[in-house]
Amino acid sequence: MANVNPLITDVISQTQRATLAAGPIQASGQGKAYQSVAQSTAIAVQDATDALRNVTTVASTAAGVALAQILATGNAGPYQPTLDSAQAMVTAAIQDFAAVGEAAGKVLSSFPSGPSS
């Protein structure tokens, strides 16, 4: 068996200590966990944005049909509840969007991004 240069074995030993020590592994794990949580909260906000967009599309369509009927009949009475419901849908969707954004921000800001000093 050939002799191995002691400098090579020393470098390998130092590398193992540096990469397999608890500190680097923990920091790496926490960083990956933080990135995962950040990505999840971003997806939640994107989903809330999509939901808001979808609700406003439905509400705008319903309001447009109701307004067309009002113009055609000259009578707003039967169609006013539709306009009110469309507005209520949008208001609720905006509140949901704000709640998701606020919750996502709280989750992310309270999640540790690395080892504490």
User: pLDDT value at position 91?
Assistant: 97
Cα separation, 37 vs 28, whole angstroms: 14
Which domain covers residue 81, as residue numbers?
Answer: 41-111
Cα separation, 21 vs 37, whole angstroms: 25
Residue 71 placed within a domain: yes
Determine the average pLDDT of the residues in 96-106: 94
Report the candidate in 18, 9, 24 with the shortest Cα–Cα distance to residue 115: 24
Residue 13 placed within a domain: no
User: pLDDT value at position 27?
Assistant: 63
3-state SS class at 117: coil
Residue 33 placed within a domain: no
Residue 63 placed within a domain: yes
Residue 68 placed within a domain: yes
- Residue 46 half-sphere exposure toward CB, CA atoms < 13 A: 6
* CA 54 from centroid of its chain's CA atoms: 17
When pLDDT is cut at 50, 70 and 90, the band that residue 25 belongs to is low
Domains held by the chain: number: 1
Residue 66 placed within a domain: yes
Report residue 3 as tokens. 């002799």
| Mean pLDDT over the full length of the chain | 87
Residue 32 placed within a domain: no
pLDDT at 83 over 90: yes
| pTM score of the predicted model | 0.71
Residues 28-76 pLDDT 10s? 777 788 888 999 999 999 999 999 999 999 999 999 999 999 999 999 9
User: pLDDT value at position 26?
Assistant: 62
Residue 101 placed within a domain: yes
